[in-house]
Copies of this chain bind each other. A is one copy, B any other.
Amino acid sequence: MKKASTDLITRQQSRILTAAKQCFSRNGISRTTMRDIAAEAEISLGNIYRYFSNKKALIHAFIERDNQEIGEAFALLDNTKHFKTLLEHIVKEIINELSTKSELYIHLDLLILGLHDKDILALLELDKSEQFLKNSLQKAQEKSQIVLSLSPEITALAIMAFIEKAAIKCISDSNYSKKNAGKQFKKFINLLIGSS
């Protein structure tokens, strides 16, 4: 991997990461070959290595980008007056996205990779999103926007756990729909969070 004009570098890296996401969604991370990504990005195989020194580095970058996106979504919670409503909305979105199967692939693959690889594990900080949520809950509680039945920490954990599980269920259990998941989540939320 060598340097190139910064602009092109970022553009190409981004292009490759987007292609990677496509492939990862389709087949899971570990089943995606560098050649697959190259083909998807319409780039030569060797050229990928100009932008990412190896597969691991590419995955690294991929995770970093992913974390950013999730962070941005949760950031909205800090500036809203209707915390619970927005939370329900965000969660619905996330379940929606995760239950594309494609997203879930990636999500779980990352977990597995993390278990196999300390570096990736560190990067995952196994659930940035949980952190974001916890912080948002805390702030909202301090602002007396909401009343929590349990600590922000447990609440965040429980919520994120619920989301993932529901998403998995949407895919794996044909009797279980996203609508279903949404309704259940509302009830669950009402148990955990009371509005002031």
**Does residue A35 face the partner (Cβ distance < 8 Å to B)?**
yes
Q: How far is the CB of A133 from chain B (nearest CB, A)?
A: 12
A residues with CB within 8 A of B: 2, 27-28, 30-31, 35, 101, 104-105, 108-109, 111-112, 114-116, 121, 124-127, 149-151, 153-154, 157-158, 160-162, 164-166, 168-169, 171-173, 184, 187-188, 191-192
Bound complex: CA A187 to CA B116 (Å): 32
How many copies make up the complex?
4
Q: How far is the CB of A166 from chain B (nearest CB, A)?
A: 7
Q: How far is the CB of A32 from chain B (nearest CB, A)?
A: 12
Q: Closest residue of chain B to A171, judged by CB?
A: B115
B residues less than 8 Å from A114 (CB atoms): 172
Pick the contact of A162 from B28, B111, B157 — CB < 8 Å?
Answer: B157
